[in-house]
Structure 1
Amino acid sequence: MSKSCKVHVNQLQVGNFVRLPVAWKDHPFLFNSFRVKQEAQIQLIRSLGIEHVFVDLDRSDVMPLQEQPVSMSAPAKDLAPLIDELDKKKQEQIEQLKKMRRELGKTEQEFDRSLAKMRNLINKLRSRPLNAIQEAEELIQDITRQLLANENLVLHLMGDAKKDDGIYYHSLNVAVLCMLLAKELGWDRADIEAIGMGALFHDVGKLKVPAQILKKQVGLTAPEINFIKQHPNFGVEFVKLTDTFPEAALPVITNHHEFLDGSGYPKGLNAKDLCPLSQLVAVVNEYDTLCHPDNISKAKTPYAALGYLFKNYKGKLNSEFVGQLIRMLGIYPPGSVVELTSGQFGMVMAVNISKLLFPRIMVYDALVPKDQAPIIDLEAEGLSIVRCLPPAALPEKIFNYLNPRERVTYFFGQESKS
């Protein structure tokens, strides 16, 4: 816990990390908490009409001064350029925040439409398989068009899944990440669409597994485990109810649990028997499953899941594809809870695939309403991430404010030009 003390504004000096006891709208600074970088900022704090501020001693470069009278205050006109500069920067930040929220809103609408289509086509698969496959192809072709038409893609964090919607979120998440990866790997349109189709239906075979087995809270019996391990084969049986399902996508369904060393299922295939599409979906499926296992108490953060995948699946998963997944999501994927160099806590909301070191962070600020929480661009603010931490490590009020997702789901949008 950081040491914080209340000090008179006359005790401030450059290098102190301060927290202002006034509302965000009542001062020109970008944040309520920040490190003082110039003497003029101290003068401006004094001009706010407050006598005391809070100084975080652990995050300060120097200790506050002993209280002493201040010499003649700088004339107000000397502060005018700084006030103008800060006001301008703050207004730019507000406009940028509005733009980010608009982009996120558009992406969420597109995600919700895709999820509704996904739910609808899965429900049609038994009764009207031809319609289901046709609608799936239209969905995947639409996503592919968006992917290939836009170079400046941003990966956004979506809202939490509704109860019992896990299979839809998981399937769409795996499909979107597979297609993004395929694009980044330079695959052609046909392969991007094939892996998208296969990934969309990769877990559909679980519809043939009794719900009491899938939702069983105690340990599964050996026959139950073996039955669940047949769901890739059940999935292929489902999509073969029509002869219009693309042949190239079938291995994605059959082999999404197969590993390069033969330790996977249902057939225990080796690397030589697994096509690139099968190897790619295995990587993405394993990543999403690490984040969202059946036993939620064992769920890993996106940051931890990537590290675990890299360290523990050597020889099992295609290392090139694992590396590309890490490069695409960044060191701190959307959904990661982080601490910044400013001392603030936040949650990664989005990453621009071309600027992975500077994700967009929703930052906790006790003086800003939750629905107006600032979303900042690390590059623009000159900040960086100190560490990633599990959501459970957050103080309750920060946890409730940031609202970390139980199910981390992604969808992409295009970053609009400023």
Structure 2
Amino acid sequence: MAALEISVDDLQLGMYVSQLDRPWLGTPYLLEGVMIQSQEDIDQLAQLCQTVFVDETTIPASFKPKRIILVKASSHTPEVLTSKKTASDQITPGELEKIERTPFHGNQRYTDIHPVDRELPVARQALEVSISMLEEIHGHIEHGVKLDYRHAKEVVESLRESVVRNPDALLLLSRLRKTRHELYEKSVRSSVYLLALGRHLGLPREELSALGMGGLLMDVGQAQLPVEIQKKTGKLSTAEHEIFKRHVAYGETSVATTLDISEAVLAIVAQHHERENGSGYPRGLFANQLHPYARMAAVIDSYESLIEPARDMPAFRPFEALRELQTNSRGGLNSTLVEQFCQFIGVFPIGSLVELNTGEVAIVLAHNRTQRFRPKIMVILDAKKKPHESPRQLDLRLSETSVTGIEYEIKRDLALGAFGIDVSRYYLG
């Protein structure tokens, strides 16, 4: 969805605000976009920020901004200029799209090519092949055999292309797909999250490939930990945690010796547990010593550990996890990347569980890009929390109603496994 940055003073009825000049977290809108339906909407935004990004498809052809946004090259800090400035001082709306807003942004623009339903079969095949490749990688590492990197690259590219066409399909399947090996599941989810974040940031395809490969491999060293550590349920002791931290070094060594890998991928494997304030491991590196993609991986790894924790630890609800990420961004995680991750993952992430205002429970299947509080869902439990015999799909954007005439709305998000739900039952096979 292409967007144009304009002053809040230039907002008009019917425009859709997709991004603010500040994080959505901490605003009345949470992570949601805003459809301008009244002057009150504009007044409220004016109290929160100076500029906003508006979906270009909602901007009238006759729109002429009274103010132009100028971005200072030295600081990337937006400055609002009145139209009384000379033409040489002004930047046209078209030129604004060429300006990088953060050091992590690329210049590539992606739009959804396929609807989720069409992409699901292709995404499912890519997912299955990636899990098979992980089994192959672990086998090669165990026996010290060099892996055919061309094959690994082809597998990652199949994941990449699915995410480019529509990230929702793989985001959904990677959450619902369950295998006998938890480490493989987490690795695939990490890869998909990194690919989707890179797409959101507008990175070119070759960079997406590095992110996808890094996500698949960043925890490969865990397979070399003692079996009692791998299989332990419950919290690790201090001594056990020190042993667990060795998986980073194991993974770095294994990947470097068995794969013809790029520097960026190796950095993800070696640095995804490092933190910007030097509190991470294994080397205690600081922000300026970290590869940008490792900083992205740190955000993904932290989110994963909150919503799907290991060793039977309690899981955070998705929104609670986003709040926790925001707290961690004050020192450990990069605040810009946390904000961007929150923007693309949304209040109700793909594959998460939600309770409706009817009391029913549903799985989020896909986002509606312009109305993120109204996703596509599959209703799986009735109001008494009993399984529906025939789960049905709804698009909340269409204002669908229940049998009693109530318009469906999401009441709250739920932790994974709420009400004893096994999401693997609803893997769309």
Q: Which amino acid aligns with 2:278?
A: G
2:307 is aligned, of 291, 298, 304, to 291
- Correspondences of 1:180-259 after superposition (within 5 Å): 180-217=196-233, 220-242=236-258, 244-259=260-275
SS in 2 for 1:297: coil
1:310, CA displacement in angstroms?
1.9
Per mean C-alpha deviation after superposition, the further-off stretch among 283-292 and 340-349 is 340-349
1:378, CA displacement in angstroms?
0.6
1:350, CA displacement in angstroms?
2.7
> Are 2:399 and 1:386 aligned?
no
Question: How many pairs align?
Answer: 303
SS in 1 for 2:267: helix
Per the alignment, residue 324 of structure 1 pairs with 340
Check conservation: 1:349, 1:359, Cα contact below 8 A. yes
Question: Which gives a bigger RCO, structure 1 or 2 (Cα 8 Å, sep 6+)?
Answer: 1
- Correspondences of 1:327-406 after superposition (within 5 Å): 327-352=343-368, 355-364=371-380, 370=388, 372-382=390-400, 383-390=408-415, 394=419, 403-405=421-423
1:408, CA displacement in angstroms?
12
Q: Which amino acid aligns with 2:163?
A: L
Aligned counterparts of 1:297 and 1:242: Cα–Cα separation in 2 = 34
Unaligned runs of 5+ in 1: 1-98, 412-418
Aligned counterparts of 1:107 and 1:276: Cα–Cα separation in 2 = 27
Per the alignment, residue 39 of structure 1 pairs with none
Check conservation: 1:334, 1:350, Cα contact below 8 A. yes
Aligned counterparts of 1:304 and 1:386: Cα–Cα separation in 2 = 15
> Are 2:166 and 1:159 aligned?
no
Unaligned runs of 5+ in 2: 1-114, 401-407
Check conservation: 2:116, 2:168, Cα contact below 8 A. no
Larger Rg, first or second structure (1 or 2):
1
Q: Which amino acid aligns with 1:194?
A: A
1:173 is aligned, of 178, 189, 201, to 189
Aligned counterparts of 2:424 and 2:214: Cα–Cα separation in 1 = 26
Identity fraction in percent: 30
Per the alignment, residue 84 of structure 1 pairs with none
Change (3 A) 1:123 1:370: farther
Aligned counterparts of 1:366 and 1:344: Cα–Cα separation in 2 = 5
Check conservation: 1:362, 1:375, Cα contact below 8 A. yes
1:117 is aligned, of 123, 133, 152, to 133
Aligned counterparts of 1:325 and 1:337: Cα–Cα separation in 2 = 19
Q: Which amino acid aligns with 1:213?
A: I
Change (3 A) 1:156 1:254: same
SS in 1 for 2:143: coil
SS in 1 for 2:319: helix
Aligned counterparts of 1:339 and 1:322: Cα–Cα separation in 2 = 26
Aligned counterparts of 2:425 and 2:187: Cα–Cα separation in 1 = 13
Check conservation: 2:303, 2:322, Cα contact below 8 A. yes
Check conservation: 1:161, 1:407, Cα contact below 8 A. no
Q: Normalising by structure 1, report the TM-score.
A: 0.64
Check conservation: 1:363, 1:373, Cα contact below 8 A. yes
Aligned counterparts of 1:227 and 1:111: Cα–Cα separation in 2 = 31
Change (3 A) 1:173 1:217: closer
Check conservation: 1:346, 1:362, Cα contact below 8 A. yes
Change (3 A) 1:407 1:133: farther
Check conservation: 1:303, 1:336, Cα contact below 8 A. no
Aligned counterparts of 1:293 and 1:353: Cα–Cα separation in 2 = 28
Check conservation: 1:152, 1:354, Cα contact below 8 A. no
SS in 2 for 1:296: coil
Change (3 A) 1:338 1:159: closer
Aligned counterparts of 1:408 and 1:133: Cα–Cα separation in 2 = 34
Change (3 A) 1:354 1:105: farther
Q: Normalising by structure 2, report the TM-score.
A: 0.62
Q: Which amino acid aligns with 1:384?
A: E
Per the alignment, residue 51 of structure 1 pairs with none
1:211, CA displacement in angstroms?
1.0
Aligned counterparts of 2:190 and 2:343: Cα–Cα separation in 1 = 17
Per mean C-alpha deviation after superposition, the further-off stretch among 231-240 and 134-143 is 134-143
1:290, CA displacement in angstroms?
1.3
1:217, CA displacement in angstroms?
3.8
Aligned counterparts of 2:426 and 2:331: Cα–Cα separation in 1 = 27
Aligned counterparts of 1:205 and 1:393: Cα–Cα separation in 2 = 31
Deviations 1:112-168, CA, capped at 9 Å, x for gaps: 2332233233323333643353322111122223334x26855424435233x1110
1:241, CA displacement in angstroms?
1.6
RMSD: 3.2
Per the alignment, residue 275 of structure 1 pairs with 291
